Amino acid sequence: MPVFPLGAHADSRGVRFAVASTSADVVEVCLVDGGPGALTERRVELLEHTFGVWHGHIPDVRPGQRYGYRVHGPYRPWEGTRANPHKILVDPYARRITGRVDDLDAARGWVGDPMTGPPSTVDSLGHVPLSVVEEPLALSAPPRPEIPWSETVISELHVRGFTKLHPEVPPEHRGTYLGLAHPAVIEHLTKIGVTAVELLPVMASAAEPALVERGMANYWGYSTLGFLAPHGGYASVPGQEIAEFRTMVEALHAARIEVILDVVPNHTCEGGVGGMTLSYRGLDAPAYYSLGGSGHDADITGCGNTLDAGSPTVIRLVCDALRHWVLAFGVDGFRIDLASVLGRPRSGAFDPNSALLTAIAVDPVLSTTKLVAEPWDATGEGYRVGGFGVAWSEWNGRYRDAVRDFWRGHGRISELASRLTGSSDIYGLSGRRPWASVNFVTAHDGFTLRDLVSYERKHNEGNGEGNRDGTDDNRSQNFGAEGETTSPVIKERRLATTRAMLATLLLSIGTPMIVGGDERWRTQGGNNNAYCRDDETSWVDWTDTSEAALMEAFTARVAAIRRESPVLHRDQFYVDGEVLWWHPSGRPMEDGDWHDGDARTLAVVLADYYLLLMHAGDGAAACTLPKDHDYEPVLDSTVTDGTPASTRPLRGGATITLPPRSVLLLRSL
């Protein structure tokens, strides 16, 4: 009798169920019917047990059937086992999940103390999510766009937040998969040069215990419940999330925009041992979680628990899930949240050749997709920028810090120079290409680009954590006023600096990533950790203000310049002779120049074709151009839409004035 695949699979006679648990004594499938407050349940024991998988065929069950599992077995918290048949459990391989946690006491598997108290006898049915049997999926998604990495421009965005306020999207589609598929939204993405959307988590999620207690939701979705199921909250019609997700992918692909999913295979929504028993903890906690001494979770994610990257059960689940999104939906790639965890089996030392990272990188399906690592976790051991294998691109945190520091008048120009030209010092030695560096200035966690120039301190009071959450290392500036201001001088300085940072990002070698809404001058009011704010704090404002329109036009112009010039989206690192670093006094840079801590101007000739000038000072600066060429102005960040006031050629050897906080791109003639 076949054991694989795991999950619930319908055929003409019924449904075959299969779930992994190495510690269970008995596993029951619970078939649930009825409405709220009147649920009924039929339990069927799975009698077949092969290689740690409990399985069996139940006749006359049809797609649409809600179900869960109840596990009978040892309850020894001090050893990590927490079987409790009073808790109905979501199938880790469920392809659709319905419902939410509405009673934290019912969702908990313990009473009194999570380590010493007895198991809870409160039945969780009716208070926690359930799995749903789905029709068999044809694993034959249409061909993907396959945009070369070197031509990729990413917009990191939230399915709900990006379109929730969009006036051209029908009200019933706003904040949904179909909203993101709307022609007006796709037209906007195309206009600003986006070739890939990196979607904040769309796998079925549930609020972690602390948020349930506060009556809040995990808006970002970094709290996975089911790794194969699209999140039902983003469907315009309840229960249609699979079809609508497919429609969204097809619409984006038709516009040659790829879909990269931000996935969270490092922890789940269940929290630590004091949290909930919704699925993994009740099925087989030692097989899913990395456990420390005395059955406690070894938390290297900062989220209460850590999936064990060394467990065959976890390795199989993660690879099966990612492969499912590619084959069933046509997804083009994955950004792995806290990816260092995947290289730390049993929460030990980091190994770039660990079983899980290797399994993903060599998988015949997954290896054809874009793989992006967030190369850190919640510990010092996990900070591994540049430390992943050749199959991986990485969020380059050093790029973010260098650009922020330069444009606020800190740091050395030598660091910015390395980041500007693709970070070969980080990625070149391993044989990777410049596009392995995913360059970003802002991301979902942290200030928006507007807030980066408007706040020097986080303002997260609305999150309900006493402003203790979120990083204090923002490397931001406010130009003399914290938050919004009516001062036209401060406003212009903020806008000018923002345009300079956007120009830096899009003109750097590597893969640029913009946060969706930054091109619309979006603010979160100084909140740098809006993970629980499903409101106007997080939603993109589509009001047609002049500032938003001009920032959008500027972004589009710089992206077009990048797209049209192979020099600016190179597939290879520069070699000797292709880059000339230029001192503003009119000579090549010398070794001592790189150690000038007061230098605020950086100039570079790229492939004898472009001269890129960047000046971060508060006052104007003189720069003498190289004599070998005359130059045509192409981009001027001091102009609201980036169009130079004059395209009259500048003579080689001439001395020009660089305005404060400016980027000027010149093309050699």
Strands 511-515 and 437-440: parallel
Task: Give the C-alpha separation, 650 to 627, whole Å.
Answer: 11
- Which residue, among 24, 9, 10, 47, has the nearest Cα to 320 in the 3D structure? 9
Residues 6+ positions from 283 with CB-CB distance below 8 Å: 19, 20, 21, 24, 69, 71, 89, 92
Does the pLDDT of residue 91 top 50, yes or no?
Answer: yes
Catalytic annotation on 363?
no
- Which residue, among 262, 233, 253, has the nearest Cα to 186 in the 3D structure? 253
Please report where in the chains the tokens 């190369």 appear, as a residue.
Answer: 375
> For residue 1, what pLDDT band results from cuts at 50, 70 and 90?
very low
CB atoms within 10 A of CB 214: 13
In angstroms, the Cα distances linking 340 to 107, 311, 317, 381 are 30, 16, 18, 9
In angstroms, the Cα distances linking 135 to 8, 10, 15, 95, 324 are 10, 7, 10, 9, 14
- Which residue, among 413, 480, 472, has the nearest Cα to 453 in the 3D structure? 480
Q: How large a percentage of the chain has pLDDT more than 90?
A: 96
Catalytic annotation on 337?
yes
Residue 294 burial class via C-beta count within 10 angstroms: exposed 0-12, middle 13-18, buried 19 and up: exposed
- Which residue, among 386, 405, 416, has the nearest Cα to 452 in the 3D structure? 405
Task: Give the C-alpha separation, 51 to 65, whole Å.
Answer: 27
According to the model, what pLDDT value does residue 542 have? 97
Residues forming a β-bridge with 604: 581, 612
Contact 627, 600 (CB under 8 A): no
Express each pLDDT in 549-602 by its tens digit.
999 999 999 999 999 999 999 999 999 899 999 999 999 999 999 999 999 999
Task: Give the C-alpha separation, 637 to 559, whole Å.
Answer: 13
Does the pLDDT of residue 3 top 70, yes or no?
Answer: no
Express each pLDDT in 326-347 by its tens digit.
999 999 999 999 999 999 999 9
Residue type, 187: E
Considering only CA atoms, give the Rg of the chain.
26
Mark out the alpha helices in 136-175 (DSSP H runs).
159-163
Strand order in the sheet with 14-20: 7-10, 14-20, 53-59, 48-50
What are the structure tokens assigned to 151, written together?
């031509």
Does the pLDDT of residue 411 top 90, yes or no?
Answer: no
The active-site residue out of 91, 284, 299, 337 is: 337
| pTM recorded for the entire structure | 0.97
Residues 369-396, mean pLDDT to the nearest whole number? 97
Span of 139-143, 214-218, 322-326, 490-494 with lowest mean pLDDT: 139-143
The active-site residue out of 91, 241, 258, 374 is: 374
Residue type, 573: F
